Structure 1
Amino acid sequence: MRIALAQHRAAVNDPDANLKRGLDICREAAAEGTDLLVFPEMWSTGYGTPPRVPDARAAWEACAMGPDSQWLEAFRRSAREHDMAVVVTYLQGGANGLGNAATLIDRQGRDLLTYTKVHTCDFTWEEALTPGGTFDVVRLDTGADHVDVGIMLCFDREFPEASRALALGGAELVVTPNACLLCDDRIGQFRARAFENMAAHAMANYPAPRMNGRSCVFDGMAFRDGRPRDHCLAEADHQPGMVLIDLDLRMLRHYRSTQVWGPNARHPGAYRRLTERS
């Protein structure tokens, strides 16, 4: 399957401009034969900081959208028109308050999964958001094949439990919309998440100057023919652009069935501290 990562700039706190820009990106990705397009974190606002002035803050909060929003419906139409799945990200509104959300729309324009960020950055303005509570996995039909997909958002990837929970749910591919400066250690974390779970991991980040790009894909297949291999399929520079990679699902499934890492080698009884609240 072909995955496209939209390492593009977004307008700060302007959902209308980002809708137009996002639909242009969808057309660009579709022209490249993309099966799954992934946007960076909170594309609707460009991950813009909420204003402090009360009236402006209220206007920002009013940009939050639920599943019936015309903004999301436009991406559904685009996915259907281009026969391409899309992971689009936005400020989420609803009965539980504001959230940081990503929706996986399939190539028929249907919502397969809406994920709300679990590990909100409570040391920033994200403390005002309501965190999600689950890491779910869904089966995505690519036309030629299918792939079991889960979603993390930015800070989630710094917790190995997030990727492992998705792996336990059967994820073959973990997509990660991101909005931060990606240093070598964070890229190393992401590589490790793919390696230890034998699952492909794809991350879309914003380019410079607000972030620093480095959108990347690791296929998780760290060995071939008994020898180590570099399982980085792509790592972008800091410039705007589209990152395109082809993921070999047949090879990934063979690797997962024959190698020793991942959920099957666990000893859950020894990990009780991982779920203690103290």
Structure 2
Amino acid sequence: MKPLRIALYQGPSGVPRTTEESLAALDDAARRAAATGAALLATAEMYLTGYALGDAVATLAEPADGPGAQRVAKIAAEHRVAIVYGYPERDGERVFNSAQFIGPDGVRLANYRKTHLFGEFEARHFTAGDELIVQATLDGLTVGLLICYDVEFPENVRAHALAGTDLIVVPTALMRPFEVVPQTLVPARAFESQLYLAYANRAGAEGEFHFAGLSCLAGPDGVAHARAGTGEDLVFADVDPVRLRASRRQNPYLRDRRPELYGPLA
């Protein structure tokens, strides 16, 4: 299997824009990603609408097959690049903080609802998802989805590793001063669970939130193979299945686990 090139789009930066502006920026990022040979473009948490929405979350939320999803599908198919993006999802009276995975043909591959909500804003406006392992296949790789705070729980990443996930894509809205997460924790998660982690953050200030940027692709060697700055950025790196298999053979963490001792963790 050949490496899968992934693009991380850290933008648009600054105050929340309209969904139309977000889609126009996504179309441009997808065009640039496809021009480099990228097969997958990952964007931030709540990409379509912006994160700092307050009570407008309920108004802007749309179904998983809503107009925003249809536009993203059209962009993916036009540029022949898969896209993972964050958005507020409405399902009846409930609103979820969700991430959707659209294939390069414009077909939806997966939809994930954030399971670990962060802070008062999210707890007030969203319902927590209850399905941890959401996966799809892209170019022979098993791709899983988490959102921001989810990746800070080692149990979540380990569960994906045990379920056969090769790459976890993590749309993110990480604020300052928590730069330790992309700088230290994300590479450590990739190393300890022997997989790739694509962490696509927001950048700039939105209302009371100041996002840290520093999007990265971390590998099973515990190294960030691509790293964005603190402003709008588009960075590229490869997910190499050959190196992943070799690393898994050499690293004993998953083999040396003793699940019979872990009962208290539940």
TM-score (norm 1): 0.86
Residue 127 of structure 1 and its aligned partner are, at CA, apart by: 2.9
Aligned CA RMSD, in angstroms, stands at 1.8
Cα 1:164–1:127 change in 2 (3 A) is farther
**Whole-angstrom CA distance in 2 between matches of 1:168 and 1:13:** 39
Identity rate of aligned residues, in percent?
Answer: 30
Structure possessing the higher relative contact order (Cα contacts under 8 Å, 6 or more residues apart)? 2
**Whole-angstrom CA distance in 2 between matches of 1:141 and 1:40:** 20
Select between 118-127 and 246-255 the one with higher mean Cα deviation.
118-127
Task: Give the equivalent residue in structure 1 for 2:260.
Answer: 269
Residue 178 of structure 1 and its aligned partner are, at CA, apart by: 0.8
Structure 1: runs of 5+ lacking an equivalent: 52-56, 223-230
Task: Give the equivalent residue in structure 2 for 1:227.
Answer: none
Residue 122 of structure 1 and its aligned partner are, at CA, apart by: 4.2
Alignment counterpart, residue 16 of structure 2, candidates 12, 19, 39 = 12
SS in structure 1 at match of 2:260: helix
Alignment counterpart, residue 138 of structure 2, candidates 138, 141, 166 = 141
Mapped pair 1:29 → 2:33:
yes
Task: Give the equivalent residue in structure 2 for 1:54.
Answer: none
**Whole-angstrom CA distance in 2 between matches of 1:221 and 1:179:** 25
Q: Deviations over 1:244-271 (max 9, x none)?
A: 1122211112221342123x32211211
Q: Deviations over 1:125-166 (max 9, x none)?
A: 443211111222434233xxx111111111111111111111
CA contact 2:179–2:212 (8 Å) conserved in 1: no
TM-score (norm 2): 0.89
Cα 1:110–1:13 change in 2 (3 A) is same
Pairs within 5 Å for 1:1-278: 1-9=4-12, 12=16, 14-51=18-55, 57=56, 60-95=57-92, 97-142=94-139, 146-181=140-175, 183-187=178-182, 188-209=184-205, 210-222=210-222, 231-262=223-254, 264-275=255-266
Give the letter aligned to residue 153 of structure 1.
I
Structure 2: runs of 5+ lacking an equivalent: none
**Whole-angstrom CA distance in 1 between matches of 2:46 and 2:172:** 8
Select between 132-141 and 74-83 the one with higher mean Cα deviation.
132-141
SS in structure 2 at match of 1:123: helix
Select between 252-261 and 194-203 the one with higher mean Cα deviation.
252-261
SS in structure 2 at match of 1:43: coil
**Whole-angstrom CA distance in 2 between matches of 1:260 and 1:14:** 47
**Whole-angstrom CA distance in 2 between matches of 1:95 and 1:253:** 42
Q: Which has the larger radius of gyration?
A: 1
Give the letter aligned to residue 236 of structure 2.
L
Give the letter aligned to residue 48 of structure 1.
A
CA contact 1:120–1:127 (8 Å) conserved in 2: no
CA contact 2:82–2:102 (8 Å) conserved in 1: yes
Number of residue pairs matched? Answer: 256
CA contact 2:27–2:75 (8 Å) conserved in 1: yes
Higher strand share: 2
